[in-house]
Structure 1
Amino acid sequence: MQLFKKHINKTITSILVLVMVFSCENNLKAVKEMGISENAPIGVAENMDLKYTDSGRVTATLKSPKMLDYSNRDFPFSEFPERVQMNLFDENNKKSTILADYAIVYDKTGLIDMQGNVILASPQQDTLYAQQLYYDQNREWLFTNKPVTFKSNGNVLKGNMFDSNVKFTEGQLAESKEGVILVTE
């Protein structure tokens, strides 16, 4: 009788183990996503100082007190919610500086969207003021379709669109509203 009870206990234990093993799904992705909200960043970094290089030469730097990493999304991006300073360097290492209240870097497209009190200062002492400015890292191009004010050599021009390379040698200010151009003799 004792042998019969041991056999029944082993059989019941074996059945329970088999039921548990076959009832569990192998869903590693669901386990990894547990505790991560769909809208929450996958990472947070403080005091960021990113450097972008091309053929060993630093072409841009981006500094911000805080970065939120959303690389877990279908269209990955990084968000900089607390001020950003971006420096762009040409082949001669001359620096243009862009300041903004907020920025988003889109990984797949190479676009940086800077918003809020955007100020761009070039090595030639040209200054652009805007509420939004895009920087295309691949083409090294700046553009916006929001109102801008452009100051250069005492000239002040205002328009509704701006489109230029980072050197300001191939640019245009479209839909000019007003401006003051100094003429020297």
Structure 2
Amino acid sequence: MITYKKIITSIVTAITVTMLFSCEGNLNRVRALNLPDENPQAIGVGLNLKYTDSGRVVATLKSPKMLDFTNMEFPYREFPDGVQVEFFDENKKKSTVTADYGIIYDETGLIDLQDNVVLVTSDSTKLRAEQLFWDQKAGWIFTDKPNTIQFANGARNDGQGFDSDLKFTNFRSRTNVGIQIIEEKKNDEVF
């Protein structure tokens, strides 16, 4: 025999179970909102950015597309369709770097350029490499990949990895083959 009390208890149990299942579904949706998304927080198209310091343009950045992942635990910005950066020194001399792909890591200040990397300094030194890292904080560039450097004086270096400051005045090549131009200095002293 079914009593009024059993009917009420069954209805309350059914409502409670339904609420628990529906809350679980909502809870999972709320938890998903707090998880970092694998998608960029912003997408930039047709970028032409100018960086200034005390009113002077120090760099320009051009790229067809930028993906902004600065919402991630290890924030970065990616340039999947290539990037071109021009740097201007205090005398407005320009150096340029281009690559088919680039990524900037915000926390470390490291820039990773890949595929058809070409760096041309203001004195016409030209570097070609498949990958080039640039440590912005240290002012240092390096790679472990094959590279070719054509210096302004005609010297050439083909190597497997190198480190250098941005002006190529402190240059260290790991393994290389090349042509070096050495100027002979005349000594006017008589011994």
TM-score by length of 2: 0.73
Residue type of the alignment partner of 1:180:
I
Classify 1:83/1:32 alpha carbon distance in 2 versus 1 (closer, same or farther; 3 Å).
same
Residue type of the alignment partner of 2:103:
I
Following superposition, the deviation at residue 122 of structure 1 comes to 0.8
Classify 1:74/1:32 alpha carbon distance in 2 versus 1 (closer, same or farther; 3 Å).
closer
> More displaced, 144-153 or 38-47?
38-47
Answer yes or no: is 1:158 the counterpart of 2:158: yes
Following superposition, the deviation at residue 145 of structure 1 comes to 1.2
The percentage of counterpart residues that share the same residue type is 47
> More displaced, 44-53 or 125-134?
44-53
**Which of structures 1 and 2 has the bigger CA Rg?**
2
Q: Give the 3-state SS of the residue equivalent to 1:147 in structure 2.
A: strand
The 5 Å alignment of 1:43-122 reads 43-54=42-53, 57-122=56-121
How far apart, CA to CA, are the structure 2 residues paired with 1:85 and 1:161? 22
> More displaced, 101-110 or 153-162?
153-162
Following superposition, the deviation at residue 72 of structure 1 comes to 1.6
How far apart, CA to CA, are the structure 2 residues paired with 1:182 and 1:165? 20
Classify 1:56/1:141 alpha carbon distance in 2 versus 1 (closer, same or farther; 3 Å).
farther
How far apart, CA to CA, are the structure 2 residues paired with 1:68 and 1:136? 21
TM-score by length of 1: 0.75
Q: Give the 3-state SS of the residue equivalent to 2:157 in structure 1.
A: strand
Classify 1:135/1:58 alpha carbon distance in 2 versus 1 (closer, same or farther; 3 Å).
farther
Does the 8 Å CA contact 1:50/1:63 hold for their aligned counterparts?
yes
Q: Which residue of 1 aligns with 2:123?
A: 124
The superposition leaves residues 48-103 of structure 1 with CA deviations (integer Å, 9 ceiling, x where unpaired) of 12344455544332210100111121101111011110122333332210010000
RMSD, matched Cα: 2.9
Classify 1:109/1:29 alpha carbon distance in 2 versus 1 (closer, same or farther; 3 Å).
farther
The superposition leaves residues 148-182 of structure 1 with CA deviations (integer Å, 9 ceiling, x where unpaired) of 10101221111111211112222222211x21234
| Unaligned residue ranges in structure 2 (runs of 5+) | 1-18, 185-191
Residue type of the alignment partner of 1:114:
L
Q: Which residue of 1 aligns with 2:147?
A: 148
How far apart, CA to CA, are the structure 2 residues paired with 1:183 and 1:31? 64
Q: Which residue of 1 aligns with 2:175?
A: 175
Classify 1:169/1:181 alpha carbon distance in 2 versus 1 (closer, same or farther; 3 Å).
closer
The 5 Å alignment of 1:33-48 reads 38-48=37-47
